[in-house]
Structures are given as structure tokens and as C-alpha cells.
Amino acid sequence: MRLSEIKRILNAEVLWGEDRLDREVISACGSDFMSDVLAFVKNQALLLTGLVNPQVVRTADMLEMKCIIFVRGKVPGQSIVDLARERDIVVMTSPKRMYEACGLLYYNGLRGNCDGDD
Amino acid sequence: METIKLVYPVEGGDLIEAGEASSKMKLTLKKLGLPQDIIRRASICMYEGEINMVIHADGGEAQVEVDTDQIIIRMRDTGPGIPDVAQAMQEGFSTAGQTARELGFGAGMGLPNIKRYSDEMKIETELGKGTTVTVRIKIPQ
């Protein structure tokens, strides 16, 4: 699924990377616990989180993720957006809550692809 | 290939800034052209170790050796040591404080994650002296 499609489904606003929305992601991960993200990730390229701090970007960076979406309308500070820009990670914010955001993407075909999944 | 030795100091105190050493190592491993999953596994091990060093000790140092067939990461701190290593290895056990939890860590997954992503893991620890966590990640030929 393209990031542009994800943006549309989640009614998201792009905070950085408007010119990179043609990127494809094949699976996603949603969590506020970064150690859980690090534990169960396989090839998820999209991170949905309600946590707002630089470690979210660093976690996504370690996993070579392509995009972070902050849920519940959270808007990270400029220093966090800059950190993501330096690492070439698209940043969006969506008014949807975590459960709804994950559900909408899953319903539209974006799966989890975690260890233990089918 | 000759063994490549890298040393990364890990600053203590500032958990918000933790992760710089891991980022730098990841970039170097990328430049060396290692496979993506090997880079990812090494980066996660180093990152969790770096977070641990900042949460539990006042920083430390990571030494990384890259060979054709393996990566060795040795993370050394002079913190309080781990009283019960078996307990520390259990998923969910944590002695981390509120700050770590607010940043998305301190869920008792750090050391278990390091074990999950490494081929071998060794913990040497002495109370009041410090801890060294050494991991080995094999590079498939």
C-alpha cells in the first residue's frame, strides 16, 4: 500500500516527506512500547504510535522503517520531525485513535507480518 | 577482509538523546554492505544495550568488531551490576524508572530482545563494578 493511500485512509496530515508518498509499505506495526516494536518487527515499514519522543524515530530508524504516523492527533515537536527528516522517514499525524487507525489499515489490506502471524 | 574495529562511547544521563551510537554503527554497517537483516539485528542489539547503559549505568562504551563471518558487539558499563541475571533475562522484569517507561522502554524487554536477535549472548556482571554484555551475530556466507 502506498503512503499516499494510507494518508487518505487515516485522514492524516504530512509533517515531513510530502514528496515521498509514493513509497510502498507491505505491513505495519502499532505500539506505544518501543521495546515491543523492536521485539516483534519483521519487515514492517510503517509505525503507528501514540508516543511522542525522539526514541520513536530512533526505533523506526533501527528497523529501517519508512514512515511514522502519530495517532490521536498528536503533533511532534520540530526537533523530532527534523530527526526523522535526517533519517529519511516520512512523518504524519492522524486524528484517528490507535485501535481505529490499525483497524482501518488492516481492513484495507495492510497486514502485520509479525513473527507468529500466518 | 581484515577485522574492522569500531568504538562508540555512550553518553550517560540523557535518555532522550540515547541511540546516537547505534545510529552511527548502523550507518557504518550499511557502508560495509552487510545484509539488511544482519544490520537490523545488530542495530537492535546495540540500541537496546545503549538504552540499558543510559538507564542503569552512567553510559559506557560499545566496541564492535566486524569480520567476514560475524559481528561481535561488546557493551561495557561501570554501573551497579545486575543482582540476578536470570531474573533480568525474563521478559517483563524491569527495574527501570518512570522516565524510561515514558519513553517507551522499561517494559523488561531489553535483554530478552538482545538475546532474541543475537546468535550468542554473554553477560558478565559484578555488583558495584559494572556489566559487560557481549553479543555475536553470524553473517551467513
Which value does ipTM take for this structure?
0.89
Which residues are bridge partners to B62 per DSSP?
B8, B75
CB distance A35–B23 less than 8 Å? no
Give B63-92 pLDDT, tens digit per residue. Answer: 999 999 999 999 999 999 999 999 999 999
| Nearest Cα residue in chain A from B116 | A39
Q: Measured between alpha carbons, how far is B45 from B113 in angstroms, rounded to an integer? A: 7
pLDDT grade, residue A100 (50/70/90)? very high
CA distance B93 to chain A (A): 13
A24 to chain B nearest CA, in Å?
A: 18
**Of residues A32, A36, A55, nearest to B19 (C-beta):** A55
**What pTM was estimated for this model as a whole?**
0.91
Mean pLDDT of B55-61: 93
pLDDT in tens, A26-80: 999 999 999 889 987 777 799 999 999 999 999 999 999 999 999 999 999 999 9
Percent over 70 (pLDDT), chain A: 95
Alpha-carbon gap, residue B118 to B126, rounded angstroms: 23
Rounded CA separation A30/A49 (Å): 6
Q: Which residue of B has its CA nearest to A31?
A: B104
Structural domains in chain A, sorted by start: 3-110 (3.40.1390.20)
Please, which residues bridge with residue B137 across strands? B71
Please report the pLDDT score of residue A46 as a whole number: 96
- Residues A72, B37 contacting (CB under 8 angstroms): no
The label of the residue with cell 484517528 reads A96
